Structure formats: structure tokens, C-alpha cells
Amino acid sequence: MEQLVYISTARSIVLSSAEIQDILEVSRRNNEREGLTGLLIVGNRRFLQVLEGDRAALERAYARIKTDPRHFAMVELGRKSIAAREFGDWSMGYENGGEDLRSTVAVLLARVTDASLKAQLQTFADMHSKAA
């Protein structure tokens, strides 16, 4: 099993809650079908996503995500083999924290055991929080 972390930038200057909801609905449906789990964090125009699952399913999902016209400038931040999923209960975890991205991410990461992953995601929240 593998874990993939990437970041990208939304083409829209402001993401509406309807746009985010659409992304989540499609992601959850696709991930459930492929046996993938993960977490999506949105900060201003940036997306940070963690995907976990079988290598072949992860590759198919990542290839599909790369072609999504709603975002650009995808950068793979990390990929590693994992023994257990960090987000096994979530087809795509997400919570709308509004202006308080740091607190939202802290809640979402409360159960994450990988200290390196936790630090990476919290740093993203710190950098992209509107309160910063």
C-alpha cells in the first residue's frame, strides 16, 4: 500500500462552497470505487491532498486528478509505502473551517500517527491560513 501527498492551485481566485462540495462528491465516489482513502485540505486557492491505497489504484486516481481543469501546478510532495492507512475511515476527509484553517486542520489531524505527515499538513495550514 502507498501514500501520496500533493499540492495544486485552483484556477478560480475564490472557490465557492458549491465548487468544493462538487470536488468532494466526485472524489468520494471515485475513491470508494477504487478502494482509496485520504484527506483534502483547502487553503485559499491551494489544495493539499493525501491519498492512500493500492499502488495501481493510486496511479489511476493521480492520473485522473492531473487532468482536472479546475486546478494547475500540481507538485508531488511525497510518496511512500505504508503499512497502515492514516485515513482508513474516510473516502475523502474534509471539513470546512472557513477562515480558521489552522484549527480545522488540527482537528482533522488529531488521529494521524505519522509525525512527519502531521507536520507537513500543519505547515500547509499555517502557510495558507487567512489568519496568517
Going residue by residue through the chain (132 aa), what tens digit of pLDDT does each one get?
A: 999 999 999 898 888 888 888 989 989 999 999 999 998 888 878 888 999 999 999 999 999 999 999 899 999 999 999 999 998 887 777 755 556 778 878 887 888 888 889 888 888 888 877 544
User: C-alpha dihedral over 49, 55, 60, 66, to 10 degrees?
Assistant: 40
User: Residue 96 CA to chain centroid, in angstroms?
Assistant: 13
* For the chain, domain boundaries: 2-97
pLDDT of residue 6: 94
Amino acid at 80: K
Note whether 41 and 49 are within 8 A (CB).
yes
Note whether 12 and 28 are within 8 A (CB).
no
Note whether 8 and 73 are within 8 A (CB).
yes
Note whether 70 and 23 are within 8 A (CB).
yes
Indicate the class that CATH gives domain 2-97. alpha beta
State how far the Cα of 130 lies from the Cα of 22, in Å rounded to an integer: 23
